[in-house]
Structure 1
């Protein structure tokens, strides 16, 4: 990070290194917790004290391909297959201008410009699934299926994103009519198309305090609707418990 700061200073740009605390107690795992902390730091105030309006991220086409492959392996659904969006968020807007370029191209550009990029030491730790995908699985796929596999996976992300955006929009439009008196109407939810039910439940769970609910969490709550036989409630991260009472899904939050 220090080398990058020196290089930016030489270009008349300012660099800032921020230490963050990673809360591993919430969410699906340490990688997700680190990602939340990282994006929180990027959204925070800069050296001037003002929050940025635009943040440029360095993800490449290879990062996108790895994200799609991980989503496929985890069975996380079409939103995971959509990968990382080229543009998202507000205040600040997150933009990934290098998403169409291979990692080797960005490395070559840095070499041509005399820049020495900083390499995250986590990228050398095979304990993380993404590192194993990057160093073992992707090279194997390219060797067996051809060098176009990364671009094919990235293209899959673009196609999946269009479908996921449409379904998310339909779910968002239907959700307000299903929520009332602090709960989610189980009967009305069951009448929705299957492709929308999980999205509605996931959005509702986020609203009641569940951090990044997984597909397993969403599926367990959906079982209270689609396979209801008087079972007990579902315990979720953050101490949230969802129960079905009187035909309504209700969430009990922990008291502080």
Structure 2
């Protein structure tokens, strides 16, 4: 409230409310408490705001330049999450049942909402929890439920399942001028079946592992990779008669295909027992 950060009316009021509430709601007889030590159903103590923050920061980014790196909450995100989840009633139930968050495009709304949805689905201690996402279009609403990346430990490379990728591993098909889709073909050490070799379209290559060649010569410049689609772009565009090959490590896009039963083992550890995953063929 010092005026060092320029912001709007409603943000200032939210911050002032937080300061006023911290001053007003004190002592054991207060109707609300902020981030107190609570006890879960297994008798283990935890603090609600800290618990959520620790959960979110153990999740990775799944797309963009930060893909694979753990989420690091910004101060404004910590303020929102700690306010909504940190304030509880005397019985331990949350004070706030609704929250309205409005931030500019590109501020990480989908990543943050996805993390909160996952927490409330699997780590909030509510049996049979359900989470819904609403938006103006179906595609926008489903962003929080896109498939996540899974590394299959016996099939994650274009070179013999687990080998180091090389630029000559797999032939690529041209999808547009200079644009190629990563694939991996199976069983190529034997005769080709009548329907051709089984293959997998690689939608989620691991960043930094893609190598490619043109007519058997490694491409050292002008190669860009979209790690969210598996499309590579070569500049300048090769001729249609050029043979393009590539290799990489890859993850498999999956989604949950069964209910998740979660048991609290420790304040920062949950046991998910066993659950089914299914591969998304068109993520």
Interval of TM-score (by shorter of Structure 1 and Structure 2): under 0.3
Higher radius of gyration, 1 or 2? 2
Structure with the bigger percentage of strand: 2
TM-score (norm 2): 0.25
Structure with the bigger percentage of helix: 1
TM-score (norm 1): 0.27
